[in-house]
Structure formats: structure tokens, C-alpha cells
Amino acid sequence: MSSNSEAIERAEIVHEKPVSGEFKEVLFGSDIGNTLWIKFTDRDGIEEWVGKFGVGTSATMRVTRVIEPDQFLVVAGGFAYLVNATTRTLLNHYFAPYVTDIAYDSVRDEFIGGDVFLRIIRDNEQIWRSNRIASDGINHMKIDGRILYGMAVTGLQGEEEPFEFDLDHRSFRLRPHYSPWDGGL
């Protein structure tokens, strides 16, 4: 990349493996097993490259710009990658078994992992964990302002309930009505 290039500002999931040599490729994580392909592009579509990301066990796959102009969170099956798309470098990552979704708090530089608990991860160490809020996973996590929104699977038939979590106070504004004594696990 030349020093005159603009920041890489856009990213999208590539649903079919690109033809070899079509894009410059960078490997993140393992390329053994399933992988997620993300195409990163500058505003004008001149500079583009593809990241190949190792995938965890969940079905959650997304890419979100978390810090302007060029830092992206890639969630690949429960694995998390924080990438500087302009320099093509991995800034942070988090891999844990059974995580179903992950969000990134750019203010505190922390991952928030969801399985049946919310877990706050800093420097690859769990620094906080909620009580159990789900019977079988947490999904659709996103941060708006300083609030984490998501859905917790609370019923044996896959029923979901929303939650809202205050990232600064580490407390629930809206807690799912999950209880292991109400038919949960």
C-alpha cells in the first residue's frame, strides 16, 4: 500500500471463496476448518484486500467498524478479531469455546463475550462475569452509546428475551427473565 492511499473504510463478508490471486490475502487465525472471508476496501474501491479468518463454533458471522476510520471487529463463529484494515494488522483477538456472540467496547478496549453469561475480556483475560442469563446462548449483541443490547435464549424451545447492559456500571438495565427454576437448565 502506498503512503498516498486512503484509509480502508469499508468491509463486507464474501460469501464465496475468492479466486486465488484475485485479491491480496491476509490470514488471521487458523485456515484449518471453516473460514470467514472479509473484503476490505477504501472509499473509492481502488485499494482492496481480503482477510481470511478462522471460525469458532457458533453461527454468528459479521464485520462492524468499531473505531473510525479503519478499525473493524470481525466476529467469526464466536471468535473475535479487532483489525486495523489500513495496515492489515491484528490489534486484538479473543477465542473461547462456546461463545455465541461477541461485541467490542472501544472506550475500554474490551471484548464482551456471550454464551450463557456475559463475560468482559481485557488482554485475553476474563475480568468480569454476569450471573447466568441464558439457557442456550446470547445473540444479536450490539453497542449503542454505552449500552450493550442483545437477546438471550431463555426457553427450552429457543424463546428469546432482550437485555440491556450498562457498560460503565456493569449492571443490567433490562435483564432477561431466565431462571434455572423456571424450566431452564
What are the domain boundaries of the chain? Answer: 1-57+73-86, 96-185
Do 148 and 141 meet the contact criterion of CB atoms below 8 Å apart?
yes
Do 104 and 93 meet the contact criterion of CB atoms below 8 Å apart?
no
Whole-number Å distance between alpha carbons of 91 and 53: 14
Measuring CA to CA, which residue among 14, 164, 20 is closest to residue 103? Answer: 164
What are the tens digits of pLDDT across the range 89-128?
999 999 988 899 999 999 999 999 999 999 999 998 999 9
pTM of the model: 0.88
